[in-house]
Amino acid sequence: MSKNVGLRLKALSAGLTDVGRKRNHNEDSYLIDEDLQLYVVADGMGGHAGGGTASRIAVETIDQELRTARKSPDDPFTAETPLQDSPLPEFLRGAVERACSAIFKAAQEDPRLSGMGTTVISLCVKGENALFAHVGDSRAYLVRGDLIQQVSEDHSLVNEQIKAGMITPEEARHSRYKNIITRSVGFEEEVQVDVMGLVARPGDFFILCSDGLANLVEDKEIQQVVSGTPLKDAPQKLIELANERGGDDNITVIVVNVAEV
């Protein structure tokens, strides 16, 4: 159990999405709900109509589910609990699962949306607990001082190849298969959702981003930008870096900074 249970942290955030340099439409969506301290990035796939629809349904459903939960008798936002006892991860998991079924249902009802799906990386900050739910290859990072760590694990073909020792991380960056994901929200009716949590410290930054950023900007560069740039300008600065390197995909970034109240 953390020694600082009950430490009150407030999350401050900035987010931005950009079509990039090569695509003619943006299939990414993102959510900043300051009231819930809930943040979501979704990178849609499935054609012009499908991808954008899937990512939009995902962020709207997750937000709606968590808002409904807060009004329920089992409100997970009122509990002052240490990380391991927090009820929020399971509520986050359920919200992503319901987004999955909502996207799948919409695709069944409209042939133009057939096969659509989306990644989801979500973060909810409650007290000193930072809680994540994740499907796909959009990422969450933690920046703490000079260190940056990827919190989420990519559900992607190249990550499976790295874990199996078939390719190196450097080879993965240039692989023709780097955009193939092994899990997505809405492509099937159900999906396995990864949930995780960590104890935040004052001064921490969390970065949620689509692979349009992660494929083109090094982890250390992300750390340097968020540590050395005013919060409101950091997403724009990161997007500019990705676009300078070709901007071959949509780029979405949310930067969250936690500070003691």
pLDDT of residue 204: 98
Query: Is 162 within the bounds of a domain?
Result: no
pLDDT of residue 47: 66
Question: 219-230 burial, b for 16+ CB within 10 Å, e for fewer?
Answer: beebbebbeeee
Whole-angstrom distance, CA of residue 110 vs CA of residue 117: 14
Query: Is 160 within the bounds of a domain?
Result: no
pLDDT of residue 79: 80
pLDDT of residue 4: 45
Q: How far is CA 194 from CA 90, 119, 183, 223, in A?
A: 10, 12, 11, 24
Query: Is 171 within the bounds of a domain?
Result: no
Query: Is 167 within the bounds of a domain?
Result: no
The pLDDT confidence band at residue 48, using thresholds 50, 70 and 90, is low
| pTM for this predicted structure | 0.94
Query: Above 90 in pLDDT, residue 176?
Result: no
CATH classification of the domain holding 193: 3.60.40.10
pLDDT of residue 8: 73
Number of domains in the chain: 1
Query: Is 105 within the bounds of a domain?
Result: yes
State the residue range of the domain holding 141: 9-152+184-260
pLDDT of residue 125: 95
Query: Is 158 within the bounds of a domain?
Result: no
Query: Is 85 within the bounds of a domain?
Result: yes
Question: 33-56 burial, b for 16+ CB within 10 Å, e for fewer?
Answer: beebbbbbbbbbbbbeebbbbbbb
Query: Is 196 within the bounds of a domain?
Result: yes
pLDDT of residue 81: 86
| pLDDT tens per residue across span 87-140 | 999 999 999 999 999 999 999 999 999 999 999 999 999 989 999 999 999 999
